[in-house]
Structure 1
Amino acid sequence: MTTFDLAPLWRSTIGFDRLIDLMEDTVRLTGGDNYPPYNIEKIGEDHYQIAVALAGFTPDEVTITAEQNVLTLEGRKTDRGAHQYLYQGISSRPFRRVFNLADYVQVKGASFENGTLKIDLVREVPEAMKPRQIAINAGSEDHQLDHKQAA
């Protein structure tokens, strides 16, 4: 069984279109190319890091583009000189890797050392979107109860 029918989710959800589209894309792309290999690590409460193994590439040959909710990583070798390999195990083919980011996840920086590209991500929810306490009016303006006092 290689296909999943996500139609029942469409019938019972409202406003989750983007999430269901991401799930469909993930199912569709699962059997694709796994190059370059990468890790995604949760470092803290709202701090993540993507580590991509890029043996043979230099920082000048890699491009990172951050758009709204999408991080694109592209690489292309510039030195295609005349080499005569007896065996070539280190890939130098061009690649494009796309990561879908959750809302409010921002790219904070990137570093390249020992053949590994590390991209730091942080989720920063705006103050207006964070939960807050709402005062409850008890019928007259003089008797406002705070939700904390009522509990």
Structure 2
Amino acid sequence: MRTVLDFSPLHRSSIGFDRVLDLLEAAARTQTNDNWPPFDSVKLSEDKYRITMAVAGFSREDINLTVQANVLTVSGERKGEQEGEVLHRGIANRPFNRRFELAEHVQVTGARMENGLLVIDLKREIPEAYKLRRIEIGETLAAPSVAHIQNQAA
């Protein structure tokens, strides 16, 4: 049984959270039965993340990584034909397309293949304008007195 969530009350009482609400709605609609290729996502530190995806049988040339509008897309399709007659296929080689929603300011810093695993490194790089900064408090200028104002008028 699938529960449909209604986010319309949140739309009425919030301003500027459209992206967050869209993500919640997309997550509610997403099919959860697509589990291939398997992957791990790991938080390495406060601002570093890693996605490790099992892509056995795929080469670098068979895999395409793109980032557009905070969506990382990993797709793969084997281009070469296998020699001989296949008696048993235990290694999946079907095309895949997996999407990852990235938070704002999260950038892909690198990708590499290691022993049949695609490793994608990510880092949150917050712009200086969004970082905490200390504001110095200056001295106030003395307000002119009533006598000083009267002397200037005369």
Cα distance in 2 between the residues matched to 1:141 and 1:22: 50
Partner secondary structure for residue 29 of structure 2:
helix
Deviations 1:22-51 (A, max 9, x none): 111112114341111111100011000000
Structure 1 stretch 122-131 or stretch 85-94: which is displaced more?
85-94
User: TM-score, normalising length from structure 2?
Assistant: 0.83
Cα distance in 1 between the residues matched to 2:33 and 2:14: 29
Question: Residue type matched to 1:43 in 2?
Answer: L
Deviations 1:4-24 (A, max 9, x none): 222222122211111111111
What aligned pairs does 1:1-150 form with structure 2 within 5 A after superposition? 1-2=1-2, 3-81=4-82, 83-136=84-137, 140-141=140-141
**Alpha-carbon offset, residue 82 of structure 1:** 5.6
Identical columns (%): 46
User: TM-score, normalising length from structure 1?
Assistant: 0.84
Partner secondary structure for residue 50 of structure 1:
strand
Distance 1:53 1:16, change over 3 A: same
**Alpha-carbon offset, residue 83 of structure 1:** 4.4
Where structure 2 has 5 or more consecutive residues not aligned to the other structure, the ranges are 143-154
Question: Residue type matched to 2:141 in 1?
Answer: E
Cα distance in 1 between the residues matched to 2:141 and 2:89: 78
Where structure 1 has 5 or more consecutive residues not aligned to the other structure, the ranges are 143-151
Cα distance in 2 between the residues matched to 1:81 and 1:117: 22
Question: Residue type matched to 2:76 in 1?
Answer: G
Partner secondary structure for residue 21 of structure 1:
helix
**Alpha-carbon offset, residue 59 of structure 1:** 1.1
Question: Residue type matched to 1:36 in 2?
Answer: P
**Alpha-carbon offset, residue 114 of structure 1:** 0.8
Query: Is the radius of gyration larger for structure 1 or structure 2?
Result: 2
RMSD between aligned residues:
1.8
Moved over 2 A (4+): 80-87, 133-138
Cα distance in 2 between the residues matched to 1:6 and 1:22: 11
Q: Which residue of 1 aligns with 2:146?
A: none
Cα distance in 1 between the residues matched to 2:130 and 2:117: 35
